[in-house]
Structures are given as structure tokens and as C-alpha cells.
Chains A and B, each alone.
Chain A
Amino acid sequence: MQTRIKEFRAKLGLTQEDLAKRAGVRRETIVFLEKGKYNPSLKLAYRVAHELGTTIDDLFIFEESDLE
């Protein structure tokens, strides 16, 4: 899974710490989300997308291989 969290976060001038506080998670969780190493729940995905002013579809990029 790939994400565009870093890109959207940079556009808004937010640090990982800022986004983590807004989403109510630890900074490490944002780090792993950006690296695509953590699969978030639908609720967290929505919360992060909402804080970045975008949608889950725009933020998370799934490929066929990710679903296997």
C-alpha cells in the first residue's frame, strides 16, 4: 500500500507531530503510515484524510497485489 500523506501534509505545512496530534495518534503511527508499513482502520484512515482535507481514495493507493 502506498500513501500520499507526506505530500498532502507538506502542502498544508504540517509536521508529522502536528498531524499526529490532530488525528489523535502517536507520531510513530504517522511515520509508519507514510512508509506504507501500517494498515490503518477505516476510522483512522478517514480521520487522517479529514485532517488533510482530502478523501481516503486520494490518500491511500491500493494495488491488486496489496489485496492478495
Chain B
Amino acid sequence: MQWKQVLPVTLGLLLVAAGIALPFAGIADEGPAPTALVSAGIAMLIVTMITTFRYRDEVQADERTKKIGAYGITYSWLFTLVLVFLLFWVDYLDLAALSLQGVLALLGFGMILSARAFQWYLFRKGDVA
């Protein structure tokens, strides 16, 4: 097992262990936190296994994919910045009642989904230029 696999496998196992341990430790007996942690950990382990076995003999990243990956994250960062300004004005003008948890969830999902969307678009296009 290479370093690229060790990190996500360790993190996945830690997430699963944390999800199982939380109710026993009395930290989060109720609510979605333990389930979310276990689900995230299992998802991480499955994705790592699939990428390890399916793309075993292939180059997983070259200069093109690394470049697209970096640009996708950059565009996502800019998108999130615009989203933050929009949320500010929504709150300032009292257009909607925003909770802290809701805003954080929106920003988190916004960053992840927009990064994947930009990367998907750039991969289809072939290059960032």
C-alpha cells in the first residue's frame, strides 16, 4: 500500500471509529453526527479501494489533470467568494432568515460541488486555456 492510499484509509478508519465512539463517549447520543461520520468514513474507504484496484496500472494524475484540478479549486474559491457576498446582501436586506449552521452547510457544499463541477467541465474541455 502506497502513501497515497495510507492517508485516506487511515482517515476513513478514524472517521468510522469516531462515529462509533461518539455515542459511547456521551458526546453525541442523538443527532446526525455519528451517522454522518461513519458514512463519510465508509465512503472514503470504498472510493480508495475502487481507485486503487480499478486504476492500478494507470497513471492517476499527470500534468494536465493536476492543472485542471488546481484550476477547478481556484474557480470554486472565486464562486464561493461571490456566494459569501450574496449571502451578506441576503442577510443585510433581510431577504431570508439565515442560521449559522445553514450558512456553513451551504458554503461547505457550495465549495465541494462547484469544485467538482468546474473540474468536470474542464476535463471534458481538455485544458484550462
The segment from A2-10, A36-44, A50-58 found at the interface with B is A36-44
Summed over the interface, the residue pairs from A and B with CB atoms below 8 Å come to a total of: 40
A26 touches B62 (CB 8 A): yes
> Which residues of A19-63 are within 8 A (CB) of B?
20-21, 24-29, 32, 35, 37-41, 43-44
Interface size for chain B: under 10, 10 to 19, 20 to 34, or 35 or more residues? 10 to 19
| Alpha-carbon gap, A25 to B62, bound state (A) | 5
Interface size for chain A: under 10, 10 to 19, 20 to 34, or 35 or more residues? 10 to 19
Kindly list chain A residues whose C-beta atoms are within 8 Å of the C-beta of B126.
Answer: 32, 35, 37-38
Residues of A within 8 A of B (CB): 20-21, 24-29, 32, 35, 37-41, 43-44
Residues of B within 8 A of A (CB): 58-65, 123, 125-127, 129
- Known contacts A38-B127, A43-B63, then 20 further A-B pairs from the complex at CB < 8 Å, ordered by chain A residue: A21-B59, A24-B62, A25-B62, A26-B58, A26-B59, A26-B60, A26-B61, A26-B64, A26-B65, A27-B58, A28-B123, A29-B62, A29-B64, A29-B65, A32-B126, A37-B125, A38-B126, A39-B129, A40-B63, A44-B63
